[in-house]
Structure 1
Amino acid sequence: MFFQNGSISATIVPEEGGRVQSLKDQATGLEFLFQSQHLRVAQAPSLHARFQYGACAGIEECLPSVGACNEETIGGAVPDHGDFWQLPWMVEEASAKSNLSLSAQGFSRPLLFRKNIHLLGRSLRMSYSVENVGAKSESFLYACHPLLAVEAGDRIVLPEEVTSLILNYSRNHRLGQAGDTVTWPINETSSGPIDLSQTLSYESGVGEMLYTSRLNQGWCGLYRASKQQGVVLVFDTMQLPYLGVWLCYGGWPEGSEDPLQYAVALEPTLAPVGTLYDAQLQGIACELAPRASFSWTIDFQISPNGLTLEAFRGFCESLS
């Protein structure tokens, strides 16, 4: 489904997890979302479906977990990257130009997930709600999963309050072990300093996942250096207190013969962990009583073009 408003355009695929497939500036034609390049494998929605065989592109949703969880998890097992990326979403309402409402019912938990996608000026606004339609309390973890297109030399821009992150995963332990503190943007390693804010080439083979501590400022951005334009995610830290940062420069999935992922994901999230199981262990999973709901909003704001990196940072800060 294609929507445009004269400033930006978006393509949404309800049958593929309700994902946003494309987000473009209509004047410059710049595509901000990573496009699917690998061979997909048909999978029925199940606890055993593997995310790497899905689209793995655009803006997808991870709920009630990012990583897979086994039966020891309160409420039972959860599939890789959750239920909703693998489900067809029902179209509840669609306007001719700029508004779409979707919903889907989870299968690992009795959670009804709704989202409204609205083009507003130069912003794609995603308004979400999740409702517990079951008879007992349920817990969940949520992370937005926007895979953003990159080229070598692009820049990740975070609020100045972010001076370190916690490492969740680093392919070949380039940044250390899970749980290590990594300084941002420059991290000192045994091989020398690494500027984590600067994207690398596809050939670098890097794959890393990191989390911020609790944020006061709810924004993050990706600056497309050669295009002098960027995209900013804006969110309320009272709703989504943390940010996950996924750096993938040809480093995932390991052992794949398909083209490897080349993208950055800036992931507003409820908790700085990868699985619902870990969130439950730490007492930071979101709990919903029967018929209770939780709502949040994320804006994807497209900057003007012709900006320097410094001007783009100023644009990001003006949105907070």
Structure 2
Amino acid sequence: MITLENAHLALTVEPVFGARVTSLTDMATGRQWLVPGDPADGEAYLGEQARGWDECFPTVGVCTHAAWGGPMRDHGELWGRPWTVTRGADACTAVYVDPRFIFTRSLQLEGTSVIARYQVTNSSPDPLPYLWSQHALLATTPSDRIAVHGVADIWADGHPVDWPHHPIRDLSSIGATDEGFALKLYGQAQHAASAAILGPEGGIRFDWSGAEIPAFGLWLDYGGWPADAPVHQLALEPTTAPADDLATAEATGSARHLPPGDSDRWSVRITLLPPGPVPA
């Protein structure tokens, strides 16, 4: 385990399990923002595996893609596998090396924020199609609310959503564990996009540039998934494509194609917010 800490926040990274961030703690309130749990191996990303903060690349959902040799692993190539991690006083850099690509994520503490900087390099002789999604599963409370800014054209299940209105519920409110509700939404990120959890026990906000990361995913699970052992979790997901898997991203023209030898770079700032009034 590698721990970074300052006066405002602390986080822990587990190098041997996908460089997963297993904890993100607000030092002022003691609040733990990530869904806790022990590592759980497996090719299928189910409730037992759904913990902490992973990186999904080059897909999220299972699919088949010829450029990747056929069937693709659930939630991508990176989670649950050993990375090489080096650390400094207030930062650490994690690297995953594959014959086809090199994926790098650096985390740097800056006051109440952690800045995640990413780079993927194509080390294969062919163009590399991919999507990436940040996958931090957040532990929320019934008093929290979800706020989204700089995100347009939000949709779910193929239908437009007038945020936060939905035929079943107010999407900005947090559901109970026994609600039996699960929904994945996507939207298009504008020039400056953000998504946050706000509440009387503190908040957390994700900020990114739509020029670098053009889409946003929102995963809501209030005891609705998986069917055999439902869990309670929420994820604010800056992503390069509004799609659940690479094959769908290709079909909709939102997959990225990285030429041989080239690199793509992007970043996300995650900021812990003080307790405050809950937005109406």
Q: How does the TM-score come out when normalised to structure 2?
A: 0.93
Q: CA deviation at 1:25?
A: 1.2
CA, structure 1 residues 53+16, in 2 after alignment: closer, same or farther (shift >3 Å)?
A: farther
Amino acid at match of 2:36: Q
Tell me if 1:204 matches 2:179.
yes
CA, structure 1 residues 75+286, in 2 after alignment: closer, same or farther (shift >3 Å)?
A: farther
Distance 2:151 2:73 in 1: 34
CA, structure 1 residues 70+26, in 2 after alignment: closer, same or farther (shift >3 Å)?
A: same
Amino acid at match of 2:278: L
Aligned to 1:70: 64
Structure with the higher helix share, 1 or 2: 1
Aligned to 2:97: 105
Q: Is the 8 A contact 1:101 1:114 kept in 2?
A: yes
- Number of aligned residue pairs: 279
Aligned to 2:240: 270
Q: Secondary structure at the match of 1:280?
A: helix
Aligned to 1:309: 278
Distance 1:161 1:102 in 2: 29
Distance 2:133 2:78 in 1: 12
% of aligned pairs identical? Answer: 29
Q: Secondary structure at the match of 2:29?
A: coil
Q: CA deviation at 1:77?
A: 2.6
Distance 1:214 1:5 in 2: 31
Q: CA deviation at 1:282?
A: 1.7
Distance 1:253 1:78 in 2: 20
Q: Is the 8 A contact 1:83 1:106 kept in 2?
A: no
Tell me if 1:138 matches 2:128.
yes
Amino acid at match of 1:8: L
Distance 1:52 1:106 in 2: 24
Distance 1:249 1:295 in 2: 33
Q: Output aligned runs, 1:291-302, within 5 Å.
A: 291-302=261-272
The higher radius of gyration belongs to 1
Distance 1:155 1:26 in 2: 21
Structure with the higher strand share, 1 or 2: 2
Aligned to 1:50: 44
Aligned to 2:154: 165
Deviation digits for residues 132-155 of structure 1 (CA, Å, limit 9, x no counterpart): 000111110111001111112310
Distance 2:243 2:126 in 1: 24
Deviation digits for residues 12-37 of structure 1 (CA, Å, limit 9, x no counterpart): 11111111111111121111111127
Q: CA deviation at 1:59?
A: 1.2
Aligned to 1:90: 84
Q: Secondary structure at the match of 2:190?
A: coil
Q: CA deviation at 1:261?
A: 2.1
Tell me if 1:117 matches 2:107.
yes
CA, structure 1 residues 62+54, in 2 after alignment: closer, same or farther (shift >3 Å)?
A: farther
Deviation digits for residues 62-118 of structure 1 (CA, Å, limit 9, x no counterpart): 000001112556753311000001211112x212x42111101247xx121001111
Amino acid at match of 2:34: L
Aligned to 1:261: 231
Aligned to 1:8: 9
Aligned to 1:286: 256
Q: Is the 8 A contact 2:95 2:103 kept in 1?
A: yes
Q: How does the TM-score come out when normalised to structure 1?
A: 0.82
CA, structure 1 residues 250+221, in 2 after alignment: closer, same or farther (shift >3 Å)?
A: same
CA, structure 1 residues 243+160, in 2 after alignment: closer, same or farther (shift >3 Å)?
A: closer
Q: Secondary structure at the match of 1:183?
A: coil
Aligned to 2:188: 213
Q: Secondary structure at the match of 2:161?
A: strand
Q: Secondary structure at the match of 2:142?
A: coil
Tell me if 1:249 matches 2:239.
no
Distance 2:121 2:147 in 1: 33
RMSD: 2.0
Q: Which runs of 5+ in 1 are unaligned?
A: 44-48, 168-177, 314-320
Q: Is the 8 A contact 2:47 2:226 kept in 1?
A: no
Q: Is the 8 A contact 2:189 2:213 kept in 1?
A: no
CA, structure 1 residues 67+73, in 2 after alignment: closer, same or farther (shift >3 Å)?
A: farther
Tell me if 1:180 matches 2:159.
yes
CA, structure 1 residues 219+128, in 2 after alignment: closer, same or farther (shift >3 Å)?
A: same
Following superposition, which runs of at least 4 residues in structure 1 exceed 2 angstroms of deviation? 71-77, 213-217
CA, structure 1 residues 183+106, in 2 after alignment: closer, same or farther (shift >3 Å)?
A: farther
Q: Secondary structure at the match of 1:239?
A: coil
Q: Which runs of 5+ in 2 are unaligned?
A: none
